[in-house]
Structure 1
Amino acid sequence: MTTPDDLKFQEFDEATDLLSADPGATTLSVSNTGTPPATGDVKLDLSEDEEGQEENSELLGRDKPTGGFWTFEYYQSFFNVDTMQVLDRIKGSVMPLPGRNFVRHHIRSNPDLYGPFWICATLVFSVAISGNLSTFLSQMGNPHYHYRPQFHRVTIAAVAVFLYAWLVPLCLWGFLAWRQGTERQIGGYTFLETVCVYGYSLFVYIPTSVLWIIPFEWLQWLLILVAMVISGSLLVVTFWPVVRDDTKLTAFATMITIVVLHALLAIGCKMYFFQTAVQMPTPTLAPPSSNNTVLLTSAAKSH
């Protein structure tokens, strides 16, 4: 019959021989206390700070573009976004909230050029096509008007939109970097983040340009006002935390310049692409007078 002593763990003879050969060797016993051995030859312990640094380095290494700027992989990283991220950023651009910075809450984790590029391209075609349709609808009842597609409007819209979406952010980024000095503030934005903000701020003009087809002048100007308020609020809420630490004159002058340039783009598109053609009056032939009738009769008799 098995006794309780038989159920106890028995030490192996090899372990006994090793201990007898080297009495100073370190032993490790498994117990329920869960305390690590006091001494040991190898110790591996990563602190929380080191683990956080490793995680941050992995994230930074993943977000950094690989290769030089002349390679395709370098620019491919700027388009590494999914549909949900783009939709979330579009939603944030049309619903700007005070105190909710668009860059820090939507862009800073992964700034992209995918959304701004396609927003600008879509805006170019929507403005050009809607402008042609608006002109056609406004002159539909004029018998002396002959519709001709104006394809040059696509080129003009592309130059205006893409120059605004790239040149204005470049000038603003350079100005802010110069005002902040060589050591940029923590809240400063990179050039890619600045371009991203301006690109997404133009999304509200896409549905606005489609609604401009409705041939009512007062409605078109009302839509422009609403679109300028929405997109301008996004720019003000985003860039005000960066310039507010500057002098009051410089801060307010910078914000006014940003809003004015943004308004000029919308007003310029409205005045050029959606101008109502002036209907020329129909020429009428005046009835011949009595004197002319007598002269014509006498001339006929003489012949």
Structure 2
Amino acid sequence: MASTNDPFQFQEFEESNLLAAASESTTISIEDDIMNPKFPTGFAPSGDEDPTAEDDKAELLSGEKKSIPFWTFQYYQQFFDVDTHHVTERIVGSVLPWPGKNFIHVYLRRNPDLYGPFWICTTLVFAMAISGNISTFLVNLGKPNYKYTPEFGKVTIAATAIFSYAWLVPLAMWGFLLWRNNKIMNLVSYSFMEIVCVYGYSLSVYIPAVVLWIFPYEWLRWLSIGVALCLSGSVLIITFWPAVRDDKPRMIAAVMSAIVVLNVLLAVGCKAYFFSKAELVPPPANLSTTAVVLPHTT
């Protein structure tokens, strides 16, 4: 016979006892927790929340973006927020253009940057000025009347030419496309920053070409100019062709010709100015020459 204290012994409970225990238990309501959430100590929401945070949340939820004036620093700061692999991809795309690949549609994706164009133009300025000085020194090396003097003024001239081309030409192109878009509604429109980005990246191919201009071989210089002109001009023509192809034939020819001519003038002008042969320096005026008189013999 089992003992009365056996814990494994089956016990019968009456229904009245179970109902009494259930009535004394605590009832948990999920709806109460949802409607009245309880926060742990230290995490309770305060009544004085930041109103700007609520405005930012509402702005994000509505999908709207604040318009920043173009004369402020914050407006241009967004164009320098770009990853390294994006810049590398755009440089490769500008050096290796492919028919049918619009640079703006494929590489920019409505997110132009000024980081890449700025450093490309700056690198090209110093590369052109330094290479021009080295080329002049190599051409005149060994000449008795030549004295090397560094020409620091070439940096200013190169910067003026490069940055004027990278900013003024896109400004003119943007104004022209905006004017034609008002005339013909179905034309493709590009923003000013997108055009600046295209022109800036199109100059990247000139950096290795300028380095090759150091060697005093005219055939090598003209060959590198031709290759750089073809690659840079192809990027510009492929990019701006969709924007003018529905225009009048006269306008199409004028735009395409202007793109090619301005590109040629930049390359040939820089080559002629920075890499022309230096003239011999005349001897100083304070040096006196002594005439040697030979005896006359009969």
Q: Check whether TM > 0.5.
A: yes
Distance 1:187 1:57, change over 3 A: farther
Tell me, in whole angstroms, the C-alpha distance in 2 between the residues paired with 1:228 and 1:130: 19
Q: Aligned Cα RMSD in Å?
A: 2.9
Letter in 1 for 2:210: S
Distance change in 2, residues 1:120/1:287 (3 Å): same
Matches of 1:155 and 1:56, distance apart in 2: 49
Say whether the 8 Å CA contact 1:108–1:193 is kept in structure 2: no
Q: Is there any run of 5+ residues in structure 2 with no aligned partner, and where? A: 1-9, 11-21, 24-58, 284-288
Partner of 1:126: 127
- Number of the residue aligned with 2:249: 248
Alpha-carbon distance between aligned partners in 1 of 2:185 and 2:176, rounded to the nearest angstrom: 12
Following TM superposition, by how much is the alpha carbon of 1:281 offset from its aligned partner in structure 2, in angstroms? 9.9
How many residue pairs get aligned? The number is 237
SS of residue in 1 equivalent to 2:113: coil
Aligned counterpart, 2:173 = 172
* Superposed displacement of residue 73, structure 1: 1.7
Gaps of 5+ in 1: 2-12, 15-53, 298-303
2:203 is matched with which residue?
202
* Counterpart residue type for residue 265 of structure 2: L
Is the Cα contact below 8 Å between 1:101 and 1:237 reproduced in 2? yes
Identify the residue that residue 77 of structure 2 maps to in structure 1.
Answer: 76
TM-score (norm 2): 0.72
Instruction: Call closer, same or farther: CA 1:72–1:55 in 2, change over 3 Å.
Output: closer
Q: Is residue 188–residue 244 contact of structure 2 (8 Å, CA) maintained in 1? A: no
CA distance in 2, matches of 1:109, 1:178: 21
Deviation at 1:78, TM superposition (A): 1.1
Aligned mates of 1:57, 1:160 — CA distance in 2: 45
Deviation at 1:70, TM superposition (A): 3.6
Matched, 1:229 2:230: yes
Distance 2:260 2:61 in 1: 37
Change beyond 3 A, Cα 1:248–1:97: same
Residue identity opposite 2:195 in structure 1: T
Q: Does 1:101 align with 2:87?
A: no
Q: Which amino acid aligns with 2:92?
A: K
Counterpart Cα distance in 2 of 1:104 and 1:263: 25
- Cα distance, 1:86 vs. partner? 0.3
Shift, 1:55, TM fit: 9.4
Change (3 A) 1:75 1:241: same
CA 1:253 to 1:156, structure 2 compared with 1: closer, same or farther past 3 Å? same
Structure 2 letter corresponding to 1:256: S
Kept after mapping to 1: 8 A contact 2:68/2:74: yes
CA distance in 2, matches of 1:249, 1:186: 15
Q: 1:286 to 1:118 in 2, by over 3 A?
A: same
Deviation string for 1:75-102 (max 9, x for gaps)?
1101110100000000100011111111
Which amino acid in 1 is paired with 2:193? L
Q: Aligned in 2, Cα 1:287/1:126: closer, same or farther, shift over 3 Å?
A: same
1:196-239 per-position Cα deviation (integer Å, ceiling 9, x unaligned): 10000000011111111011111101110110000001111111
